[in-house]
Amino acid sequence: MIIYSGTLADFESDVDGGLLAGKLSAAVYEKMGRGTPQSEFSSWQNSLNHMYIVLGKSDVPKDASIAVEYNIPYTGKRVDMIVAGTDDRGIGSAIVIELKQWTIAESVVEKDGIVKTVLGGSMNETTHPSFQAWSYVQMINDYSVCVQDGLLRLKPCAYLHNYEITDDDPLTDQAYGFYMSEAPLFGIRDKNRLRKFIQTYVRHGDSKNVIDMMERGRLRPSKSLQDCIVSLVNGNREFVMIDRQKVVLEEILDQAKRCRNDPFKRVIIVEGGPGTGKSVLAINLLAKLTEQGNLVAYVTKNSAPRNVYFRKLSEGKGRLSRSVTSVKNMFKGSGAFISSGKNDFNVLLVDESHRLAEKSGMFKNQGENQIKEIINASKLSVFFIDESQRVTLDDIGTIENIEGFARSCGARIKRMELDSQFRCDGSDGYLAWVDDLLGIRETANFDTADDFVYDIEIFDDPNELRRSIEEKNLTANKSRMVAGYCWDWKTDKKHDPAYHDVKIQDFGFGMSWNLGSTNTWAVDATSVGEIGCIHTCQGLEFDYVGVIIGDDLAYRDGKVVTDRTKRARTDQSLRGLKQKYPDPEEQEKVADRIIRNTYRTLMTRGMKGCYVYCTDRSLQEHMMSRINKFKKNTRN
């Protein structure tokens, strides 16, 4: 999608007449259904006026093409400006320009491609302008058949029209040398250099219809992208499949092949409990399907699984290569398909489908329904689901809802199941015990547990629990502390490790919720000193997990009960409960299930063991008695 396009002559006329920003604003409303904030309107006027000056005194032909706000296919990223035509050999040529209004910047040389500038009123980290321009072109190259077939060449650059580049400028530090060599950086004094750069590659008018080629050209994953994702998965022990996973994978590959050869839309629902390998299967499918030339993406609602699995794929690669960086674009949020066209993708692999929501966006006011949008956007939609892991009021990911939307668009539906247990030392007995303890499944039978070596322990002191997890973590950095959401998360303290959100006064215990400075808490080296919640660990696994059960779960009159009033005020999982369920009895029923599902999810994150502390003493004693009975049964 392009917000504005025309010849250079059209562009100059619209700027001269003071019409360009208004045309852009109207086009945004027409094509995207939203208004334009004054800040965005002003930035258009400012930046595009500077480009008007650059191009007006250049030798770029007036019948060259100009595009403003080009949306890169399959991403939420937009290119600020494109100048397009043909080069001296008659090949389509486009200059991709990232425009910045920065006036100050600082280098962050210890991080690849990262700098600091004023964002939101204070200095914050962001990507280097040259990295940004370079990465946008790589995304286009990865999927454009015209580029892959040599019909079109793209050249990126960044223009900081309010920024004076000094002799010893932080933006030109040698740490950014590669990105600047690929995407030159121009400042306030570099208008003539920028003109020469554009003129070098756009020698003639746009007789090849380059902008149209970029907008409507055929798409497929490049060979380098295919090779990269396959190489990242193959030989990576984190993503080895066995048994039932392989059977399901082959069936999904077959269904994807059918979708490419017939007109039918398909939906596959893959059910599996904790640790049955849903995510491992999804990542393998991402590689296999891309290798076969499909346009495919791995999708989750929460960013934590996406970030962690990408990190696991790229571990040991040193500074990320071009292709590995491109792979990250294949990991998408569940709200990324609001504006997608019908069947834009061959396959969407939706992990943690039970977490899908109705609306998208920070304020939950965008789109219609994530399930519907995903099915619309792909010929084959694969939903990996465990309905017992729905942990907020907004979670609408049920098999019934998925099948309903699939039927409404005439899709062929297939259900499959993963039953091999990899987590909790492969013990179905432990999972049954947890379900029985929490009242998730009335039919759970933990008396029939087979050979069992899972390490489940109850601690009387949260400090001892923490020390045990820290000790386990020394082996491979794969043990973490988590807790129920019964303690407020102080937004203004989210970067302060000295502030303890989770406090248990009787024991002098205190830990911080996971800090806001990282999106890969599950694998970061210092995370054992922080405590995670359901939103940062769901969909992930550890060797050992230490679980603090808060006051929202207790033991009264011979039963495990829940109390939603004990949840933290900052917890959003039950927000809107009274509005959605006017009947008080229904409110309690829904809240009760969410709290039980939350602890079920937390207690099934550990591959080898789960250590527990309960703030409710009666629950602590009850769990201890149940554990003793469980261990006795597993020894007999």
**Extents of the domains making up the chain:** 2-216, 223-418, 424-635
pLDDT higher for 636 or 323? 323
What is the mean pLDDT of the segment spanning 345-359? 96
pLDDT, position 162: 97
- Confidence band of 441 (pLDDT split at 50, 70, 90): confident
Residue 630 has pLDDT above 60, yes or no: no
What is the mean pLDDT of the segment spanning 304-328? 73
The angle that helices 8-16 and 38-56 make with each other, rounded to 10 degrees, is: 120
pLDDT single digits (tens) 134-189: 999 999 999 999 999 999 999 999 999 999 999 999 999 999 999 999 999 999 99
Q: What is the DSSP string of 182-201?
A: HS-EE-TT-HHHHHHHHHHH
pLDDT, position 558: 94
Please tell me the distance from the alpha carbon of residue 518 to that of residue 308, in angstroms, as a whole number: 11
What is the mean pLDDT of the segment spanning 601-607? 94
Among 425, 255, 411, 412, which residue's Cα sits nearest to residue 346? 255
Please tell me the distance from the alpha carbon of residue 603 to that of residue 472, in angstroms, as a whole number: 17
Please tell me the distance from the alpha carbon of residue 304 to that of residue 514, in angstroms, as a whole number: 12
pLDDT single digits (tens) 523-555: 998 899 999 999 889 888 999 999 999 999 999
Residue 497 has pLDDT above 60, yes or no: yes
**Spatial contact of 37 and 70, defined as CB atoms under 8 Å apart:** no
What is the mean pLDDT of the segment spanning 27-47? 83
pLDDT single digits (tens) 182-232: 999 999 999 999 999 999 999 999 999 999 999 888 888 988 889 888 888
The fourth-level CATH superfamily of domain 223-418 is: P-loop containing nucleotide triphosphate hydrolases (3.40.50.300)
Give 26's Cβ-side CA count (13 Å radius): 5
Q: List strand residue ranges (DSSP E) for 285-368, in order.
A: 296-300, 331-333, 345-350
Radius of gyration of the chain (CA): 27
- Confidence band of 431 (pLDDT split at 50, 70, 90): confident
Among 544, 543, 562, which residue's Cα sits nearest to residue 552? 562
Residue 445 has pLDDT above 60, yes or no: no
**Spatial contact of 233 and 283, defined as CB atoms under 8 Å apart:** yes
530-532/92-100 β-pairing: unpaired
User: For the purposes of burial, counting CB atoms within 10 Å of the CB of 339, is it exposed (0-12), middle (13-18) or buried (19 or more)?
Assistant: middle
Q: How far is CA 486 from CA 518, 534, 537, in A?
A: 22, 11, 16
pLDDT, position 163: 97
Quick one: the chain helix, strand, coil %, rounded to 5?
45, 20, 35
Please tell me the distance from the alpha carbon of residue 590 to that of residue 392, in angstroms, as a whole number: 10
pLDDT, position 511: 96
pLDDT, position 40: 85
412-418/266-272 β-pairing: parallel
pLDDT, position 286: 95
Q: Backbone phi, then psi, for 527, in 5-degree steps?
A: -70, -20
pLDDT single digits (tens) 67-106: 999 988 877 788 999 999 999 999 999 999 999 999 999 9
Q: What is the DSSP string of 574-605?
A: TTTHHHH--SHHHHHHHHHHHHHHHHHHHTT-
Residue 406 has pLDDT above 50, yes or no: yes
Max mean pLDDT range (56-60, 447-451, 627-631): 56-60
Q: Which two tokens stand for residue 469?
A: 């997890």
Rounded percentage of the chain residues whose pLDDT exceeds 70: 94
- Confidence band of 430 (pLDDT split at 50, 70, 90): confident
8-state DSSP, 515: P
Amino acid sitting at position 425: D
Helix (H) or strand (E) holding 152: strand 152-160
- Confidence band of 378 (pLDDT split at 50, 70, 90): very high
CA 618 to chain centre: 40
